[in-house]
Amino acid sequence: MYALCSYFDESEVMKMPAKVLASTENMPYADWLELRRQGIGGSDASVVCGINRYKSPVELWLDKTGQLPPQEAGEAAYWGTQLEPFVRAEFSKRTGIFVAESHELLQSEEHPFMLANLDGVCEVPDVGTCIFEAKTASAYKAGEWENTIPDEYMCQIQHYMAVTGYAGAYIAVLIGGNTFKWRFVERDEELISMLIELESAFWNHVQDGTPPPLDGSDASKNFLSERFPSSTPKSHITLPDTAAELLAQYDEACEQLEIVTERKQKAENLLKEMMGNNEVGTAGGRIVTWKSVSQERLDGKTLKAEHPTLRKKYTNRTSYRRFEIKTAS
């Protein structure tokens, strides 16, 4: 691992193809959110690429065009910010690499819609100035950090390298409060070119006011459920002509799903037959388990019959919209 002296000339570090858009030191969170609407930040990059698990491109477009109210930081984001100094200090302690804090929102000179809010920067011999990114993760996500980094964070740091022109980045993560890892990531020109192309197309949607198309991600599915939570009773709409093609795609996907589901079930049944009464089986470096599981479930039918008042007291009503396609009569 590289070793550095404790100090370096920060004026040399900041030589990059980017300008300082604003100082973020002591900036109110609401002002910071509003400032980020002026472009695409590092955490937005994976959303634009359609690989973010929590936000869809359309939802991001609504945010950038001012159609969504500012969202308060959640618990995970709050503690990530609070623990950032610890992650930075621990990284320096373990590697000997001094990390200078960054309190500026940077804007690409070549692509002004690309913004970067760095956690820090450091100098690495034979590499030059590098980005430092601090992360925290729950123990449940430890597997995502085994010999790699999550895709959304790879997009984020490559986006930062696109803005700054830097040749590499260190990303450090505290997992579950008791596991610390770090990794060096080299600049990937192919990925950066792809990000610039996708982000440029997305920003065109922001500027001309037309939303990007929805995709098949869970984020888009959840977004639609939140935006249209309930239907108007007995309402009706004649769908546009393009719906016919979408219905055909839906039918084709259902047929393919039925085929692959049957193939999957057949393979599972044959493996179960091989295992018999055994709980664990091994083959080709894989471990197969078929374990007995006991569950306790509330007998709602009996409870309703014998204690209807009690059942009503502890019953919560939830609503959702069920999507289905059938032939018109």
Domain ranges within the chain, ordered by starting residue: 10-208, 237-281
Higher pLDDT pick, 226 / 48:
48
Task: Give residue 182's pLDDT band: very low, low, confident or very high (50, 70, 90).
Answer: very high
Q: Which residues contact 216 (CB under 8 A, 6 or more apart)?
A: none
pLDDT over 50 at 7, yes or no: no
Mean pLDDT over 277-296 rounds to 89
pLDDT surpasses 80 at 70: no
Sequence-separated contacts (24+) of 193-199 with Cβ below 8 Å: 195/45, 195/48, 195/49, 195/155, 195/158, 195/159, 195/162, 196/111, 196/114, 196/162, 198/48, 198/49, 199/40, 199/45, 199/48, 199/111, 199/113, 199/114, 199/159
The residue-averaged pLDDT of 274-284 equals 91
Pick the CATH number of 10-208 from 3.40.50.620, 3.90.320.10, 3.20.20.70, 1.10.10.10: 3.90.320.10
How many angstroms separate the CA atoms of 264 and 258, rounded? 10
What is the band of 3 on the pLDDT scale with cuts at 50, 70, 90? very low
Q: What is the mean pLDDT of residues 83-107?
A: 94
Please give the pLDDT value at position 2: 32
